[in-house]
Amino acid sequence: MEIWLWVSIGILIAIIIALLVKIHILQRSVKEIEIAFADRLVTDTNVLIDISSSDKNVRRLANTINGQLRKLRTERRRFQQGDLELKNAVTNISHDLRTPLTALSGYLELLEQEEKSESVNRYIEIIKDRVDILTQLSEELFKYSVIISTKDNITKEQVIINTVLEESIAAFYTVLTERNIVPEIQVSETKVVRMLDRSALSRVFSNLISNVIKYSDGDLKIVLSENGEIAFSNMASGLDEIQVGRLFDRFYTVEAARKSTGLGLTISKTLVEQMKGTISAIYENNRLSIHIFFPDLKE
């Protein structure tokens, strides 16, 4: 009797050990799939998940995930192709617009020198205004096409953010004065130094200040913190949360008259991310705040 008892215990222990081994193998296989799946999501590769487990259920899971990866890659290729076509279209349109607009501006200047009636002069002013708007739009398109086609050409150097920010604000002194906007400026006394592209950073600040001039209700607050965060905030009662959520979208503009391309903040976002920074917009109590952060990467 005791022999059978010990045999039963031995069999039970063997079953438990076998189950524990099975569980361990399953856990290892699932972990293997998890690591491989995470790698495939961030890597542009056609290699699918291949696991060492012989368990049919685990292999079925891997096959299902591989099927979804194939679909994801197909959609990714379609998106990349569409994005490339759009970038090429933007570049071509910007080039095609610049030359005729320059010529048209020249003809208008010549026409202004001729004797004309008052009504003709009025029409010429209207045409000039429209040409100026189109010229501005084409220049913005051209700048954007240059940025997206040279995204890997960021030239980094040690930049004192305090200095670039102060220079950018000073460049808009006249326009801010004309709009009766007196900026409240809080700049860290400590030099905030980061590895950035100085020209790109200056363009980002200029775009943000220009945006404030367009949409501010009359105030502007700029804060540079010691940790590398820059905040631009202003009252903007004409906006809503949905519009603010789309501010960085390509070609989106809150202007019904479409006098801008909606690329200013898109360009800023692109440049900030190329310099390994982050940019975001917050809208609370009718106040728009745009935050930029450049971590100290010690490059």
pLDDT at 277 over 90: yes
Residue 257 pLDDT exceeds 60: no
Pair type for strands 184-187 and 221-224? parallel
Q: Is the pLDDT of residue 164 over 90?
A: yes
* pLDDT band, very low/low/confident/very high, at 298 (cuts 50, 70, 90): low
6-15, 226-235, 263-272: which has the highest mean pLDDT?
Answer: 226-235
**How does the average pLDDT of the chain come out, rounded?**
80
According to the model, what pLDDT value does residue 138 have? 74
Q: In terms of DSSP bridges, do strands 157-160 and 193-196 run parallel, antiparallel, or are they unpaired?
A: antiparallel
Lowest pLDDT segment from 48-52, 145-149, 214-218? 145-149
* 264 in Cβ contact with 210 (< 8 Å): yes
CA distances from 66 to 30, 35, 63, 81, 202 (A): 14, 14, 5, 22, 45
Higher model confidence: residue 265 or residue 170? Answer: 170
- Mean pLDDT for 225-253 is 81
Question: Token pair of 229, please?
Answer: 């965060």
pLDDT band at 149 (very low <50, low <70, confident <90, very high): low
Is residue 132 very low, low, confident or very high in pLDDT (cuts 50, 70, 90)? Answer: confident
What are the residue boundaries of the structural domains of the chain, listed by start? 1-149, 157-293
Q: What is the pLDDT of residue 258?
A: 47
Measure the CA–CA gap between 141 and 280, rounded to whole angstroms. 22
3-state class (DSSP) for residue 280: strand
CA 22, CA 16: separation in Å to the nearest integer? 10
Token pair recorded at residue 284 = 């609370």
pLDDT range class, residue 279, cuts 50, 70, 90: very high
Nearest to 56 by CA among 29, 28, 32, 31: 29
- The architecture in CATH of the region 157-293 reads 2-Layer Sandwich (3.30)
Q: Are 207 and 264 in contact (CB under 8 A)?
A: yes
How is residue 130 written in tokens? 């429209």
Q: Check residue 87 and give its pLDDT.
A: 67
Residue 182, pLDDT score: 87
Least confident of 46-60, 189-203, 263-277: 46-60
Rounded Cα–Cα distance for residues 249 and 269 (Å): 9
User: What would the two tokens of residue 182 be?
Assistant: 């007196």
Nearest alpha-carbon partner for 225 in 188, 195, 189, 193: 188
Helix (H) or strand (E) holding 193: strand 193-196
Bigger pLDDT: 110 vs 125: 125
More confident residue, 36 or 274: 274
Q: 262 and 283 in contact (C-beta within 8 Å)?
A: no
What's the pLDDT at 125?
80
Amino acid identity, position 49: I
More confident residue, 2 or 239: 239
